[in-house]
Chains A and B, each alone.
Chain A
């Protein structure tokens, strides 16, 4: 574009600078949850699996702040221990899918041609299998638990990362700055790995942060369905599953507590992911 309307354009799209309160609050929530997960045995007031028939469906009391479930187990303690599987699963999925996705996306976007076409076709097929469906299939094949679903979901999410990376890399590749590097005599590999990759990674990373929330919800759903983490292990999804029976009797707390834990963590992760996308997206000329 040439001369005129820079000022007009900037004005036409007024940007609200979001207050960072929600962002910082979300970081705090995530930090607390992570610490709780890591130091669960030190923090939790009770053994999460300790059955106490004297205190079945206890409401909130000084002894049990968030009450107990049908077996008298302390809901707070179970929630704290549940944070372990809740956070670890998504972390593994996000990290592995991001690494694999970025590498494949870089390959497809940078090399183009038949590699791009073949990878694109493979991604299209995997896209047709939603992550939760792949996870359910993995359970059907390899049995219940979290190992198979985590691997399956890493495979399911990698194409999302790869496609985003591919699009970004392909658009970077056509930018004059890449041509400029070539004219200066830099090799294609150097440009791709040392210059283009670092330019696209922050955007992809921010997007992967958003995936964390989805994965967390989906793995919890799997446990809720009785296909993931198995009772009596403390896990948010499994806790809700077990607490379902009590709902009809009006005992909401054992179900609502882990449910709120899921919601709060997902909100926090999404707020962080969106804020990161906004900040990073704003810095790179589109």
Chain B
């Protein structure tokens, strides 16, 4: 039995549809109820929905054998897991954005508002730029508008929210997409089952580009 942690929301549903097509369906997952765990003993899979940012924790701690989460979460928390597949869905990018008139004055410390503190710190450390990180949990775009920060580091999908708030992308840090991850210990003891699932999903993802 493989335990699979899926991220709640649109991405998770899309990924489940791929798993289903790949032959790892679990019909009970589509029933409308408050159940959290769904199992198909015949196919050897058990799914559960968790908050997207918690998927890597479930997998790293072995509560789930495999899981699907965004590269942003993996880059931010650096969990000790295998990253077996790029599902090429949920595609977006991690970027630095600022007000259109922003000029980076290197004489002063750059104030950076973000949910992704480690990504921001690592990125600017590589550039040798001194920063003051302001950790926010939401509405990051508001920070430069109100003068709380000079720039923001956040996920950009279409750029529409930025545009509506007179912000623009200044630099791209990294491309983001959904990744299939596995617990390192589980992989040793369920190698064949995980390999089979990864091969089926990979073939399908390649064929359909999800």
The reply to whether chain A is a binding partner of chain B is: no
Report B's interface with A, CB cutoff 8 A: none
